Amino acid sequence: MTDHLAHCPALFLTAPASNQGKTTITAALARYFTKQGKVVRVFKTGPDYLDPQILAQASGQPVEQLDIWMAGENYCRQMLFEAAQSADLILVEGAMGMFDGEPSSADLAATFGIPMAIVMDVKGMAQTAAAVALGLARFRDDVQIAGLIANRCGSERHAQLIRDALPTDIPLLASLKRDEEVTLPERHLGLVQAEEVRAELEARFEAAVDWLAQTNDSKLLCLPEPVAFRAPEQSEPSHLETPLLAGKTIAVAKDAAFSFIYDANLRALKSLGAEVSFFSPLKDALLPEADALWLPGGYPELHAQGLANNRPMLDQIRAFFAAGKPILAECGGMLYSLESLTDLEQTTYPMLGILKGAGAMRGKRGCQGMQSAPLPEGEIRAHAHHRSRSENTPDPIAHGKRQRHPAPGEAIYREKGLTASYLHLFFPSNLAATAALFSGAGE
């Protein structure tokens, strides 16, 4: 290793579509190699809160999100370079299908030279799985294909049909049988939060290690070839020259109802000089002493009764708002800020009422996508992912700017010191604007 180059075995798990088993297999590999005494660093493509929780528990290491648009190429390069200096293996889980999105999983893998393993649910097909894998492998010439992982394979005969149909440069890395014991628990926004089912996940991870070991193809259980990860030519700034939030304390809601928090965002706040203090809107009666408040996303709809019943906390946050102090409310945090929230059972509960309007869940219909937030403090990159709606809200001060579409994005509201939106902000994309947002400098 030179000062600017670090070598580490790495594999990028991708798929032709969602729901092929990427997270299950990534978690299984992370636990398998961790049990071999290896340090495994896992990364997740795109803005995702739930998969990283699962993968962090499987690997015993922090999991970072990588997105070239939201975070920037330099940031992603820095994260991979730092991981390669201490890890024995880097795993990257893709998002959606291999070429879906701009930038796609393939774009990320090609940018950093990480070989891709194609995860495919082969139930109901045999030689066709080889044809799909071949099409993915040949679609672009700037991606390296390590091979195919045949998930939910029915038998050794099934695997052999796929193996014989694959070209020699696309090996069958593993044929994994159907096994419901390793399937990860899900709910309406995706996987269940790891903290809620930690013991169950442990049992599934251990079962998944045995599941991997039963494959007749041993290639997946050997460390892949090392990849050379180069440091960015200009290191991503971890802080501004002036710590703009020095002396400030930011209270962050964190419990079963509010947990959609990027570690990168917490690091950004600390790099700006802020102290971070956590509290639970579900269980705590008092807010910590703080200069600003962050209500992140999560699952308030699953805990609406508990939130509504914690009247002392409601009163504390209302008083904080009345004092004009900065509050950032993102997605679930915005729903909590509204006058009421109707849950999935169509029961309506009173919420904070610091923002006019009512929130309601809407089943499987939702909105997701990359957007930037044009705030008075500056533009911060973000994303939206929700299955709820809000009605009778005030006029917004702005709308999110969609990455690839001219239509207005999510509404952004501002009342006194409160900034509320469905958007989840990625603070490192604009540290100065983030500091101004939490200090109230943009009012």
Residues annotated as catalytic are 331
b/e string for 42-71 if b means 16 or more Cβ within 10 A? bbbbbbbbbbbbbbbbbbebebbbbbbbbb
Distance of CA 311 to the CA centre of its chain: 31
Angle at 186 between CA 259 and CA 155, to 5 degrees: 140
Dist CA 223 CA 221 (whole Å): 7
- Work out the number of other CB atoms within 10 angstroms of the CB of residue 164: 11
CB–CB of 215/173 below 8 Å?
A: no
Q: Could you tell me where the DSSP H helices lie in 125-254?
A: 127-139, 156-165, 198-213
Dist CA 295 CA 285 (whole Å): 16
The position carrying tokens 């929130």 is 359
CB–CB of 397/367 below 8 Å?
A: no
- Work out the number of other CB atoms within 10 angstroms of the CB of residue 411: 19
b/e string for 257-293 if b means 16 or more Cβ within 10 A? bbbbbbebbbebbbbbbbbbebbbbbebeebbebbbb
CA distances from 399 to 143, 181, 422, 423 (A): 36, 44, 10, 10
Reference 435, options 240, 263, 260; nearest CA is: 240
